[in-house]
């Protein structure tokens, strides 16, 4: 797949409503957990710490759901490591937000992700596996993030990501990205090829 081909999707027409907020104590500190719902019924969560009333750019992570990495401690990806590192960074700064977006497997869903893993077990890389299943390499859509951030008064973001295309996508949907903050954690023998593929085929800026 060509390195300059857009892989992330984004429009400005994903309406979302804020449903409820509660406290969520974690080992990094106490966050406010905000529930959001799209008109389609799809649900998302944002964890925040601190106040955004001063209008200063906030440290933000847009994290796409990864059941295997986030909850089942998989070493096949770096997702769980990034989730924990992002929460730790926000807590250390005392101010920021983590958007937990329900788009498993780069948008193909959990069962198709398992099918993709099976293809990877047989030799395909993460991009080839998606394509063999008939999907683009990345089907995620970050448009909903604009409404989530706006509803909580976050007007500028310092995004924790290794993916420059995510930055471009966020700006295209009207999110004021003022800085990219690298989030390079979690490389191990089980995800070496996965990370190398993300760098070579998806443009991620990763450590060697």
Q: Report whether 64 contacts 106 (CB < 8 A).
A: yes
Please check if 22 is assigned to a binding site: no
How many whole angstroms separate alpha carbon 186 and alpha carbon 120? 19
Q: How far is CA 163 from the centre of its chain?
A: 10
Catalytic annotation on 13? no
Dig out the tokens for 95 from the structure. Answer: 């101010």
Catalytic annotation on 140? yes
Please check if 61 is assigned to a binding site: yes
Longest pairwise C-alpha distance within the chain: 52
Among residues 159, 170, 34, the alpha carbon closest in space to that of 96 is found at: 159
Of the listed 140, 146, 180, 192, which one is catalytic? 140
Please check if 66 is assigned to a binding site: yes
Please check if 126 is assigned to a binding site: yes
Please check if 170 is assigned to a binding site: no
Please check if 63 is assigned to a binding site: yes
Q: Residues, the chain, total?
A: 208
How many whole angstroms separate alpha carbon 128 and alpha carbon 137? 8
Please check if 62 is assigned to a binding site: yes
How many whole angstroms separate alpha carbon 156 and alpha carbon 28? 24
Of the listed 138, 168, 193, 196, which one is catalytic? 138
Please check if 88 is assigned to a binding site: no
How many whole angstroms separate alpha carbon 172 and alpha carbon 167? 9
Annotated binding site: 61-66, 77, 79, 82, 104-106, 126, 161, 166
Annotated binding site for Zn(2+): 66, 77, 79
Task: Give the residue numbers marked as catalytic.
Answer: 138, 140
Annotated binding site for GTP: 61-65, 82, 104-106, 126, 161, 166
């Amino acid at each position: 797949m060509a390195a300059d081909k857009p892989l992330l999707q984004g429009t400005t027409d994903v309406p979302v409503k804020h449903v409820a907020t509660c406290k969520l104590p974690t080992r990094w500190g106490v966050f406010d957990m905000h529930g959001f719902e799209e008109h389609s019924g799809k649900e998302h969560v944002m964890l925040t710490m601190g106040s955004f009333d001063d209008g200063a750019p906030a440290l933000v992570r847009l994290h796409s759901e990864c059941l295997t990495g986030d909850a089942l401690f998989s070493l096949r990806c770096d997702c769980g490591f990034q989730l924990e590192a992002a929460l730790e960074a926000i807590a250390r700064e005392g101010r920021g937000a983590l958007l937990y977006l329900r788009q498993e497997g780069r948008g193909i869903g959990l069962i198709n992700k398992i099918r993709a893993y099976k293809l990877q077990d047989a030799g395909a890389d993460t991009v080839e596996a998606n394509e063999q299943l008939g999907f683009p390499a990345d089907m995620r859509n970050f448009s909903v993030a604009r409404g989530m951030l706006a509803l909580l008064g976050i007007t500028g973001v310092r995004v924790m990501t290794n993916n420059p295309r995510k930055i471009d996508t966020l700006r295209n949907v009207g999110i004021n990205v003022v800085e990219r903050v690298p989030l390079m954690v979690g490389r191990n023998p089980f995800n070496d090829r996965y990370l190398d593929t993300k760098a070579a085929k998806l443009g991620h800026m990763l450590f060697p």
